[in-house]
Amino acid sequence: MSTTDGRLAVVVLVSGSGSNLQALIDAAASPASRFCITGVISNRPGALGLQRAVAAGIPTRVVDHTLFPDRHSFDAALAEAIDGFSPGLVVLAGFMRILTSDFVGRYAGRMLNIHPSLLPEFQGLHTHRRALEAGVREHGASVHFVTDELDGGPVIAQVRVAVKTGDDEASLAGRVLAREHELLPQVVGWFASDRVALRDGRAWLDGKALQEPVECCA
């Protein structure tokens, strides 16, 4: 749960480039950081995120979902890999697999996800495209506790990004991603400092139930 120096042990799950992972690696390198990344796991053997972890000296594991006959057997193998690192927190940072209820329950209250929208808007995939199609003036990203509902767990904090005239999916995604790199380490740091908790199905910060997500990283 904690490393030998008292910092929170964090395992990060990735499926792709791992830019949010890199933001966490950079934050954890600070002497003031309250967390340490003890392992990185991917469901894709070629994920760039694994290379980022290796470059930072972080142990990695691959649990290739294509090698399992069903979601439950994959989740069981994934849980075994996670538990091998004895984490106090599991972070989904671009991990593109839907997880079973049993798996989510195993890490209830200590698993966070970052999602590229202002939840509850645009749960699921293609959030930037859908935001543009909906004509919203603000878009952004959210960090939330993971529950059985896809992208539906209690939201802890969000960042907002203005949608500009002439934006396309790529330009909007790029600006949101840059803010994600600020948001995720901030919330993981709060969790590591015992400021954030999941209680009675709600997100709490500093001993108070959140009525709405915190506007972060302004």
- The catalytic site residues sit at 115
The Cα–Cα gap between 141 and 7 comes to 26
The CA angle 103-198-6, to the nearest 5 degrees, is 85
Strands 196-199 and 202-205, how do they pair?
Answer: antiparallel
Asked if 82 contacts 41 with a C-beta cutoff of 8 angstroms, the reply is: yes
CB 102, CB 74: distance < 8 Å:
no
CA-to-CA dists, residue 90 to 11, 99, 128, 129, 160, angstroms: 5, 13, 25, 28, 24
Can you tell me the distance from the alpha carbon of 33 to that of 185, in angstroms, rounded to the nearest whole number? 10
Residue at token pair 């952004």: 140
The Cα–Cα gap between 133 and 147 comes to: 28
- Cα distance between residue 152 and residue 123, in whole Å: 7
